[in-house]
Structures are given as structure tokens and as C-alpha cells.
Amino acid sequence: MKESDMTDEEKTEVMEKVAIGGIKFIMLFGHAKNDIAFDMEKAVRLDGDSGPYLQYAYARISSILSKVESSAEPNFDMLTESDWDLARKLNGFEYAVTKAAEELSPHYIAHYLLELASEFSGWYGVSSVKNADTGLMEARIELLKSVRQVIRNGLYLMGIEVLQKM
């Protein structure tokens, strides 16, 4: 989102949510038995191992989805290997949540979400949604909806708010 598209009030709200999300993520990222080395600059970065990176991935997917219209049936047979790699990455969420619950250690969710966001980022670099053939576009829309939902669910479990725009 362009900075000029947001009011000062919206910018302040986003900055607060990003800062709080960054702090929560750092607290939950490491194993519970390890000391926490808190670095505020690292905590609020939009790249790397940070909560804001995950919030940004969610906002970016939301932006992509807001720019396309779903009007036909998805054709999942048209998905590429890159699409399937991203789809397969979704399978790890249940395991991460189960391990986090069994060991009372949310770092499993944090690490999984970073892997998913990284996979999405790589996928986005080579895949088009808006310019794809209709059936493929629809399938990719469904894929992105799934990725966005998993990121939303994971952030919710960690107490981090999602942002529709950043």
C-alpha cells in the first residue's frame, strides 16, 4: 500500500500493530527454555524472521486478492509445480500446531509460518494471478485464500493481529 493511501491515523494504527506484533513474535519465536535476545530493530523489520514479515505477507496476499475478480470455476489441473509446492507447504500447519500444544512451545508455529511466508514470497516471484488463464487464475485465487487463512490462523494463535494493508 502506498504511504499516501493511508491517513495519519491509519499509519499510526498500523505502526502500533506492527510493533506489538514484532514484540510478541520475538517472545514466541525462540524455544521456551532458551534466553530471549531482544533486538527492537530486528523485531519490527518487514523481512527476515519477524512478526511484521508475516503481517506483511498476509497484507500482500489480501492486496492481490482485492485486485482480482473470481468469476469462473478453478481448474486445479492447470497448477504448476511451483503452485503445488506452495500448496504442499500448507500441510505443515497441523503438525506445527500439534507440536506447539504438546510441548507448550509456540515456536513451532512461528517457525512454520516463516517457512510458509518464505515459500509464498518465492512463489509470488515466479507466478502471476491476475495475468494467468482464467481456470489457472481461479485455482491460484483459491490457493492464496488458503495460504492467507493459514497465516491468519497461526498469527491468531500467537496473539498477533493481521493487517489488511501496510
pLDDT tens for 49-73 read 889 999 999 999 999 999 998 888 9
The DSSP H or E segment spanning 127 is none
Classify domain 3-157 at the CATH superfamily level: Isoleucyl-tRNA Synthetase; Domain 1 (1.10.730.10)
Higher-confidence residue: 86 or 18?
A: 86
Residue 152 pLDDT > 90, yes or no?
Answer: yes
| C-alpha cell read off for 62 | 489480501
**DSSP string of 88-101?**
HHTTHHHHHHHHHH
For residue 8, which amino acid is it? D
Q: Among 119-123, 130-134, 140-144, 149-153, which is the least confidently predicted range?
A: 130-134
Contact 85, 126 (CB under 8 A): no
Residue 6 pLDDT: 82
Question: What pTM, to 2 d.p., does this model score?
Answer: 0.85
Average pLDDT, the chain: 89
Residue 165 pLDDT > 80, yes or no?
Answer: yes
Residue 85 pLDDT > 70, yes or no?
Answer: yes
CA-closest candidate to residue 138, choices 75, 47, 81: 75
Give domain limits for the chain.
3-157
What average pLDDT score do residues 21-49 get? 70
Read off the pLDDT band of 1 (50, 70, 90).
very low
